[in-house]
Structures are given as C-alpha cells and as structure tokens.
Structure 1
C-alpha cells in the first residue's frame, strides 16, 4: 500500500497527464513481455513483439540487458523514466536516459546488487562508454519494435482514461477525480491509499501529483523510488472491453447525422442515456450507433464504477477536427 499525503496546495496542483509517457510505457511493457505475466489484453502485442524481435539479436539483448535492469518485481532505476522530458521526442529522451550522469547510474543501479544481472549491467554501473552506447541502441530498437507500431492503441487507451478523469473532475472537482480511481485507490482526505507492491508513505509537501494513465501498467500503480523527485503516480489506463477490429465495411456505415452528432458529443466521456437526450433519439438507437462507431475505431467504451462511459478515440477526434476545418 502506498499512502500519499496531500495538502490543500497539493490538491490544487494535481493533474492528469495529457499523453502517454514513452519511457513509462517502455519500462512497463517489459513486465508484460515476461510470458508468465502476460494477460489476454496484451496477447496479440506479445506474440507480434516476440516474433519481430526474434528476427534479429534484439530478443537476446532484451534478456541480457533490459530485463536485468527491470526485474520481474520490485525496484527499477528512476533514470529510465525522466519526467522532465516526457513532452520531447523519442530520440531526445533516449539520448538523455543513455547519457545519465555517472553518479546517477551508480546510485540507481547499485540497489539492483553487484551480483544481479549481466556483466553488461555491471559495466553500465561504472558508466562504461560502450555500455552507454549499447543502452542507447537497445532502447531505440526496443521502442521501434515494441512501441511505435502500437502507439495508436497505447494513445487511445490513455486518452480514453483521461476523458473519464476529465468528466469526474468537471462533475465533482479534485475530490471527485481522486474518488474516480476506486478500487485501485481510495481517497480518505487528506490521504490517497494506492494499491502498491510495497508498503510506503509519500508526503507531497506542496509539490502536487502528476497522475499518468498507462496502457502497459497492470494490477498495481507505480511511482518513483526517489521521493525527492517530482511526484508521479502511474496507474493502469482503463481498457476498452468492447473494442473491435477496424474494417472498411464498418467505416462505410458511419454516414449520417445521428452518428456524427454522437461522435461530436463524446469529446468528454458520456453515458448512453446522456447521448440519447442530447441527440434526441432512443437509448436503443444510440446503442446501435455506438456499436458502429466502436467497430470503426472512432469511439471507446469503458466502465467507471456503475457508469458505462463513451469517448472518442484519437481517430474519432481527428475526424471531427477535419470536419470542423472543412466548414470554416
């Protein structure tokens, strides 16, 4: 259990990340790549990454370098997930991670243990230039195979979760936002109790908290080991349980004012009943159109407590924005 203590200032500074975090997704996807930790949601991703990585020497490098640095459970180094760079490009982020100062490498790789992992990891602990170059190439190759081809799915998962949190915030303020994370988290002011791998207490002390939804996060939340760093809490983004493959046939069914109105209305997470009232049709009619929009990959449906909420995917938002530009 992680107990996060808030002040009034912390509540004012609490926010939800606007996009996926490359390095958190990379680190957490390594957990999913371990076969014994894989679940159905990641099965097709797992099979494709294993197949693509096995065509080169990437799979052995993942086993010998990446997995020892990111063990199956417990501690992994904070320098792998630098918050200050999350809005920069992947090349810049990877370059900074691989170029971490020698004292950071020693301090954060040290807790893994001198006898833990590979000889390469021990060389990285000593900031060996060749080991740094290996890390840079490994991270670049891994994100190219394991993340880049799947980034739309990752982004849609994160954006759908953010839409749910935005609704909770608009309806009930920060208290409602924090309450929306049940059962993973329990908000008992001024403490947020979070399902976590170890027992730990974090005092925000006026710094606020960045909540980061993650596609590859599963089961429990994650945070930084060093509590002097800006506080971050990474949690599992809600999955779309009803998503269907995108097909040309499904896209062809998207003509008509009713579906366009529904797509426009789902810029913020919305229930079927609310959509029916807003668009002026029956709930059954809304349900029919929602199915078509999901099949086309334009809309995502997730459950938040007793509410079933619908929100546009990135593709849906792109379509709405394109239509708006065409009429201006």
Structure 2
C-alpha cells in the first residue's frame, strides 16, 4: 500500500494532467509488449500489431533496451526514464533524460540492480556515458513513433474522457469527491490517499501538491515515482471504450467515416465513444459550443447519438447504431 500524506496546501495543489505523458506511455506500452502469457485482453490487438510493426522496422532491440531498465514485473525502475519534463512533450522529456545528473544515474541504476540483473551497458549509463544515454533516448523516440504515436489521438481522447469524469466529480463533490472517484484503486481518508500498490511506503507531499496523470497503457494499479524528493505524480489507469483497437487495425476507417459523414462530423462521432458534455466536446474538437451542439443534433437525428441532461450540463453518447458505425461491431453503449 502507498500512503500519500496531504496537508491543507496540497489539497489546493492537486492537478489533473491534460494529456498522457509520452515517456510514461512508452515505458508502460513496453510493459504490455513483454507481459507474460497473453497479457491484458484489451491490448491484445494492439500488442500483436505493435510487435509486428517493431519487427518490420527493425526496432525489437530498441524496445528491449527500454525493457531491460524498466521490466514490467519489477517493483522499481529508474525514475530518470520518466522525467517531469515529459509533460511538455516527447522531445523535452528525452532532452531531460539525456541531461540526467551523473550522481542520480548512478544511484538509480544501483537501486535497479539490487533485485535484478541489468545488462552490462547499464554500468556505462550509471557512469554518465553519453553514448548509451543517446541510444536509450533514441530507442524511446523510435518505439514511440512506431507504436505509440499512431494511437496518440485515441490515447489523448481516452485521457480527455477520464479528465472530464474527474472534473464532474470535482464540481459535484469538491476535491474529496474527485479523489473518491478513483475507487477502487485509490481510497481517500483525509488527509491520506491510500493507493493499491505492490510495496508498502509513505509519500509526504509537504505542500508540493500531487499531479494525477491519466495513462492509456497503465493497467490495474497506479504508479508513482520512487524518489520522494521528485515532483509528486501518480500515473493511473483509465477506462477504455468497448471497441478500442489500434490505429493499425483501423487504417482506412477514419477516411471512410469522413467520406460518409464529413470530416468534422466523423470527429464528433469518434469523440462520443464515451459520454461527454457539450463543453468538453467543443474543447476537444476546438470548435464553439453551438457548433458542437449542432453536429451532435445531426447525429442524434440520424439515430447515431443520444443526449440527456445531468444537472447543468447536457451529456452526449453514442447509440448502439452509432457505436456499430464507429467500431465496426454492435456493442452496448450506456449513458
């Protein structure tokens, strides 16, 4: 169990990240690629195609480089692989990775080596050698480009839906309500947030607040940085839509939908894969609220969407027919 201790300053400094972190997503995607057996079913189609894509591009070794320092079954992997600068994008995160101070590299590699045998090149990383750090950063960039970037729109949309749900919980119940909305893997007993975790530890925020990062590839339980002196973050799983499949399996589908519905209306249909308010939809598509409402109205008249009022908001979602059109299969959709 991880216990995160808040004080009154921390309550006011809880943040919800606006998008997944590209370095965290790459590490966690590699975990899914190396999962024993058949892995988590929701990633099965993505995993098969990602492995094939990496093999076709000659990037299997690049994925193994990342997995060697961050194995999926490890209770610890070096924090420098997921720097705070990743919030500003992949390039900023990789630059921070390359510039990790030597003392920190040595300490974190030493800690990672305690329970597991690391490859020989990890010793060169610990000494601050430029070549292996550059190779590691290049591996992140190549793996991300090959198997993460094609699905980044879906990953961001999934994070948006989660952020919208947390925002509604915040509006209805304050910070208490928002933190409680993460049940069952988080339990809020003020002033301590209890997190389902593979090891027993305490993290005291001391007024720094906590940044909650939604993750498309995180599964089952949240993950925090090991070093308590780093900016506190908690990477957490999000709910996937029933019909989620990797972009490689949907290669022609967006174009076909655009040809049928028009580009903007096709984007609206995709955005309604999970319940969303008019304001959230407008922000996601970067259109005005009246424009978003007009597009939803057209989909609703065609039997592809339905809407209901929830307090001061109108929430929209797909009908079974809309979900079938979007995903290529009939699936129950609940509002």
User: Which TM-score band applies after superposition, normalised by the shorter structure?
Assistant: 0.7 to 0.9
How far does the alpha carbon of each residue in 1:17-67 deviate from its partner, in whole angstroms, 9 at most, with x for none? 11111111111111111141721211122112111111244213422x221
> Does the Cα contact within 8 Å between 1:4 and 1:191 map onto a contact in 2?
yes
Task: Tell me, yes or no, if structure 1 residue 267 matches structure 2 residue 279.
Answer: yes
Q: How far, CA to CA, are the matches of 1:97 and 1:221 in structure 2? A: 22
Matches within 5 A, 1:1-328: 1-36=1-36, 38-63=39-64, 65-71=65-71, 72-83=73-84, 85-113=85-113, 116-241=117-242, 246=253, 252=260, 265-268=277-280, 273-274=308-309, 289=319, 291-292=321-322, 295-296=325-326
- Label 1:13 to 1:294 Cα distance change in 2 as closer, same or farther (>3 A): farther
Extract unaligned runs of 5+ from structure 2: 282-305
For residue 230 of structure 1, report the CA deviation from its aligned partner. Answer: 1.3
For residue 218 of structure 1, report the CA deviation from its aligned partner. Answer: 0.3
For residue 291 of structure 1, report the CA deviation from its aligned partner. Answer: 4.6
What SS does the aligned partner of 1:207 have?
coil
Count of residue pairs brought into register by the alignment: 291
Q: How far, CA to CA, are the matches of 1:137 and 1:51 in structure 2? A: 20
For residue 293 of structure 1, report the CA deviation from its aligned partner. Answer: 6.5
Q: TM-score, normalised by structure 2?
A: 0.76
What SS does the aligned partner of 1:24 have?
helix
> Does the Cα contact within 8 Å between 2:159 and 2:238 map onto a contact in 1?
yes
Which stretch has the larger CA shift, 97-106 or 37-46? 37-46
What SS does the aligned partner of 2:188 have?
strand
For residue 73 of structure 1, report the CA deviation from its aligned partner. Answer: 2.1
How far does the alpha carbon of each residue in 1:157-189 deviate from its partner, in whole angstroms, 9 at most, with x for none? 111110100110111111110110111111111
- Label 1:265 to 1:113 Cα distance change in 2 as closer, same or farther (>3 A): closer
Extract unaligned runs of 5+ from structure 1: 310-328
Q: How far, CA to CA, are the matches of 1:288 and 1:128 in structure 2? A: 53
For residue 249 of structure 1, report the CA deviation from its aligned partner. Answer: 6.7
- Label 1:56 to 1:78 Cα distance change in 2 as closer, same or farther (>3 A): same
- Label 1:122 to 1:45 Cα distance change in 2 as closer, same or farther (>3 A): same
> Does the Cα contact within 8 Å between 1:265 and 1:275 map onto a contact in 2?
no
Q: How far, CA to CA, are the matches of 2:214 and 2:161 in structure 1? A: 10
Superposition CA RMSD, Å: 3.4
Q: How far, CA to CA, are the matches of 2:76 and 2:179 in structure 1? A: 26
Q: How far, CA to CA, are the matches of 1:140 and 1:11 in structure 2? A: 35
What SS does the aligned partner of 2:279 have?
coil
What SS does the aligned partner of 1:196 have?
coil
Q: How far, CA to CA, are the matches of 2:332 and 2:105 in structure 1? A: 40
Q: How far, CA to CA, are the matches of 1:22 and 1:288 in structure 2? A: 29
> Does the Cα contact within 8 Å between 1:243 and 1:294 map onto a contact in 2?
no
Q: TM-score, normalised by structure 1?
A: 0.78
